[in-house]
Amino acid sequence: MYVLPAIDIREGEAVRLVKGDFSQKTVVHSDPLAQAHIFKEAGIKTLHIVDLDGALEGTTTNAPLIEHIKKETGLMLEVGGGIRSMEQIKQYIDLGVDRVIIGSSALKNPELVKEAVGRYKEKIAVGIDAKDGKVAVSGWLEVSETDYLTMAKEMAGIGVQTLIYTDISKDGTLTGPSLSHYQALQQAVPDVAIIASGGVSDKQDLKELVEIGVYGAIVGKAYYEGRITLEEMQEVEALC
């Protein structure tokens, strides 16, 4: 299982939110590029980056900063946040981003996903963010009536190879990931790579996700609060 440290960018800083609430923002590093270098120097190979400004505005607000991170570190990057058009997807791919995450637009505009997968294949991932099992959109500000497993199956049918699932109730809470949700996803779409996001609090949580068989796990607040070290992340990766 891959372990992906997270850098969430808001107004030029690396921050952490609680349950997607922008009013509960904590700055974890004033310079996201410097934070990316810390990860690189520790031997981390892949980063999960979210443009929180983009998620609110529907624009690639932090694309120049993300480009700097890619060029200066050479790390594999997956990027999400406000991606709603082929132009935005192409922009990120042209900047060297390795995997572009389509979030809200996947539910609202599945044709965009079809076109993106047709053009860029494995470089496209879909983020499914859910509250009480229902898919949330628009920076988690709205909750739909669509069940997360239903959406996962629809995305798999389109040809999406990677899904990033977040249980909003767990995000930034350090209360442990929703293991039953990941087990259900593994069963519902067995041929899709599932990346777990939200709730990871320690190395044991990562080990439990390894046992479920997910492809990857994103670590944010647990790292920034010192509950998981970079060395422990690499130890978990070595188990697989």
From 154, 135, 152, 160, select the one nearest 186 (Cα to Cα): 152
From 53, 47, 14, 17, select the one nearest 30 (Cα to Cα): 14
Q: Which two tokens stand for residue 167?
A: 């249980």
Active-site entry in 129, 167, 171, 205 = 129
Q: Which residues contact 228 (CB under 8 A, 6 or more apart)?
A: 200, 201, 202, 203, 206, 219, 222
Q: What are the residues facing 238 on neighbouring strands?
A: none
Active-site entry in 8, 53, 167, 205 = 8
Clarify whether 8 is annotated catalytic.
yes
Clarify whether 171 is annotated catalytic.
no
| Token pair 């609202």 in the structure block, residue | 108
Residues designated catalytic: 8, 129
